[in-house]
Amino acid sequence: MRWIALLAAALALAAPASADGERLEWPLRPRPAVMRTFDAPSPDWKPGHRGVDLAGVPDQRVYAAAPGTVVFAGELAGRPVVSVGHPGGLRTSYEPVSASVRAGQRVEAGTMLGELQDGHAGCPAVACLHWGAMWGPASQADYLDPLGLVVSTPIRLKPVR
């Protein structure tokens, strides 16, 4: 039984969270429909979907999912992107978003980052927010499913048999 307590402690310490152990908030309001789910590549350099696509409308406000610092706000590979670094090593990204923030700016959960643009490839909705999350430095990042980090997602532990 001691190993169960050790496992639970390790999971609690390993689970990425924002400052103060808080979980993420939805970046679009009201809570959006998920149009495409996370599909982690294995290994990391192979094709996959390193985030989720959330249905929205053009010019819809996009909000920071947790407190942090804007680490990038601009064009990346021809797409407008905002990326926020959170305490503890988590980083969230939002695209295509026309930024209303600048790199180095401190944000709180719910701070408006910019406005959603239309034209996200592969999205069946008029506009989709591609929302990503990664843990660790960008050069060695582990991609995470941001839906598993949202405050409204229940955490369930399976029983030990």
Contacts 24+ apart (CB under 8 A), 106-110: 106/67, 106/68, 106/69, 106/70, 107/64, 107/67, 107/68, 107/69, 107/70, 108/64, 108/67, 109/18, 109/22, 109/24, 109/25, 109/63, 109/64, 109/65, 109/66, 109/67, 110/25, 110/63, 110/64
* Residue 6 confidence (pLDDT): 33
Entry pTM = 0.79
* Residue 105 confidence (pLDDT): 98
Domain hosting 54: range is 2-149
The verdict on residue 161 lying in a domain is: no
* Closest alpha carbon to 99 in 118, 112, 109, 86: 112
The verdict on residue 154 lying in a domain is: no
The verdict on residue 50 lying in a domain is: yes
* Residue 14 confidence (pLDDT): 42
* Residue 152 confidence (pLDDT): 73
The verdict on residue 156 lying in a domain is: no
* Residue 119 confidence (pLDDT): 74
One digit per residue, the tens of pLDDT, for the chain of length 161 reads: 433 333 333 333 344 444 445 689 999 999 999 998 887 766 665 555 578 999 999 999 999 999 999 999 999 989 999 999 999 999 999 999 999 999 999 999 999 999 999 877 778 888 999 999 988 877 777 888 999 899 875 556 666 66
**Domains held by the chain: number:** 1
CATH code for the domain in which residue 80 is found: 2.70.70.10
The verdict on residue 160 lying in a domain is: no
The verdict on residue 75 lying in a domain is: yes
Alpha-carbon distance of 139 to 101, in angstroms, equals: 24
* Residue 153 confidence (pLDDT): 54
* Residue 13 confidence (pLDDT): 37
The verdict on residue 29 lying in a domain is: yes
* Residue 121 confidence (pLDDT): 73
The verdict on residue 33 lying in a domain is: yes
* Closest alpha carbon to 19 in 133, 147, 109: 109
* Residue 160 confidence (pLDDT): 66
